[in-house]
């Protein structure tokens, strides 16, 4: 999809819209009027031929109020899990009623990080999403916070939205936030400028993210939004951050063009995009300078160029790959366990067989199973 301005998103075939807790919930109560107005805009987009998938936060905020939990239910994990259980029922009802008023059927889908990290489960979730959208429903997706634990959760719905967009083969993601978009420095500082277009989220863009951009109710913040943009951009998906606080936020964004538009950098094939968007590597491989150069030219990662192995992983797990100066080079599926990697680190092919006791594989991470930065 060719996108030059926010208004072009009206022409998306499939659009994921993420709504944060701070927009949907105020003082523990749902903002029904705002939601009704938003759903009116969603219904209009759908009439214009855009298929919509919603990623909605708000379960923890709603449930915490109902249970009277401190810190919006985020004081401890067990509170958040309980709050999500209670709040998700209400959240689903809100969406189903609001969409129902326009004759649209809502479909709830709760996913965990693991559901999207594991290839088989990811394809399963993708098939369900496709079926729901083809069936004319609007899926309303959230993280299954009741069973997610600290180590294995998204924790923010921004990255979840980008992953869902990938799984659903959407062409665009709209993150409705409580800020206008990405500013080149802390927006409270004098002279801070809204960045309206980003082509590739590099280190200079990441440096602009300030933790102060989080409203405190959700857990996203700007950094999570930039991570979401990185997941989207390598899958060929456009992502935009726009201010959701307006009464009619989509119309405002499309008409004024105010927001930040992240243009896709490349379109990795579906499998590589999934691999690149995975969030939880189990280990780290450090490569020497020669190896880093070879990787940049598209080679596989060989044991001879390995200098360090961190973490505990099995063959087939996801590992991150780093260069000698700590720079991130990419990630991929490893051909050996952590113990085997340590045994053959720095060795050439001929020396590896003696260490391993069997014929070595072609690479430690094969280029077909690797995504470079």
Give the CA dihedral 113, 115, 116, 117, nearest 10 degrees. 80
Tokens of 274: 């999934």
Strand pairing report for 306-311 and 370-372: unpaired
Q: Which is nearer to ligand GLU, 93 or 265 (CB)?
A: 93
Asked if 57 interacts with ligand GLU (CB under 6 A), we say yes
Q: Which two tokens stand for residue 328?
A: 């991130």
Interface with ligand GLU, residue 108, by CB under 6 A: no
Helix, strand and coil content of the chain, in percent to the nearest 5, comes to 45, 20, 35
**220 touches ligand GLU by CB under 6 A:** yes
Query: How far apart are CB 111 and ligand GLU at their closest, in Å?
Result: 10
Q: Does 21 participate in binding ligand GLU (rule CB under 6 A)? A: yes
Of the ranges 140-148, 201-209, 277-285, 342-350, which one interacts with ligand GLU (CB under 6 A)? Answer: 140-148
Closer residue to ligand GLU (CB): 53 or 60? 60
Specify the pairing of strand 14-19 against strand 29-30: unpaired
- Say how far apart CA 352 and CA 265 lie, in whole Å: 38
Q: Residue 21 or 166: which CB sits closer to ligand GLU?
A: 21
Residue with tokens 């199973």: 369
Contact 54, 93 (CB under 8 A): no
Locus of tokens 């708000």:
58
Q: Quick one: tokens of 122?
A: 């990811």
Of all helices (H) and strands (E), which one includes residue 289? Answer: helix 289-296
Q: Output 17 or 61, the one with its CB closest to ligand GLU.
A: 61
Residue 143 interacts with ligand GLU (CB under 6 A)? yes
Query: Please, what is the minimum distance in Å from the beta carbon of residue 59 to ligand GLU?
Result: 4
Measured from the CB atom, is 157 or 352 closer to ligand GLU? Answer: 157
Among 219, 300, 322, 352, binds ligand GLU (CB under 6 A): 219
Nearest approach in angstroms of CB 79 to ligand GLU is 12
- The C-alpha atoms of residue 127 and residue 107 are separated, in whole angstroms, by 14
Stretch that binds ligand GLU, among 5-13, 102-110, 213-221, 317-325 (CB under 6 A): 213-221
Binding site for ligand GLU (CB under 6 A): 21, 57-61, 142-143, 145, 156-157, 218-220
């Amino acid at each position: 999809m060719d996108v030059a301005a926010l208004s072009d998103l009206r022409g998306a075939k499939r659009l994921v819209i993420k709504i944060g807790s701070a927009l949907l919930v105020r003082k523990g109560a749902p903002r029904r009027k705002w939601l009704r107005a938003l759903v009116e805009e969603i219904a209009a987009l759908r009439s214009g031929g855009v298929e919509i998938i919603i990623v909605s936060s708000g379960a923890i905020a709603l449930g915490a109020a109902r249970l009277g939990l401190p810190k919006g239910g985020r004081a401890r994990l067990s509170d958040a899990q309980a709050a999500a259980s209670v709040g998700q029922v209400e959240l689903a009802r809100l969406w189903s009623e609001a969409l129902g008023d326009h004759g649209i059927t809502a479909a709830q889908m709760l996913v965990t990080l693991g559901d999207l990290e594991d290839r088989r489960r990811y394809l399963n979730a993708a098939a369900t999403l496709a079926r729901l959208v083809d069936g004319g429903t609007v899926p309303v997706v959230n993280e299954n916070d009741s069973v997610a634990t600290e180590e294995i959760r998204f924790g923010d719905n921004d990255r979840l939205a980008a992953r869902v967009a990938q799984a659903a083969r959407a062409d665009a993601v709209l993150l409705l936030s409580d800020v206008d978009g990405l500013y080149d420095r802390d927006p409270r500082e004098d002279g801070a400028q809204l960045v309206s277009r980003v082509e590739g989220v590099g280190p200079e863009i990441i440096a602009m993210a300030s933790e102060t951009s989080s409203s405190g109710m959700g857990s996203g913040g700007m950094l999570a939004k930039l991570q979401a943009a990185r997941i989207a951009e390598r899958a060929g998906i456009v992502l935009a951050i726009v201010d959701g606080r307006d009464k009619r936020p989509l119309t405002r964004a499309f008409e004024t063009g105010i927001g930040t538009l992240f243009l896709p950098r490349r379109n990795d094939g579906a499998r590589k995009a999934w691999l690149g968007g995975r969030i939880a590597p189990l280990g780290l491989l450090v490569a020497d300078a020669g190896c880093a150069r070879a990787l940049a030219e598209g080679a596989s990662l060989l044991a001879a160029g390995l200098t360090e192995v961190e973490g505990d992983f099995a063959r087939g797990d996801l590992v991150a790959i780093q260069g000698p100066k700590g720079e991130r080079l990419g990630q991929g599926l490893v051909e050996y366990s952590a113990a085997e990697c340590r045994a053959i680190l720095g060795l050439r092919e001929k020396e590896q067989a003696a260490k391993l006791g069997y014929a070595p594989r072609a690479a430690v991470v094969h280029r077909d199973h690797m995504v470079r930065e």
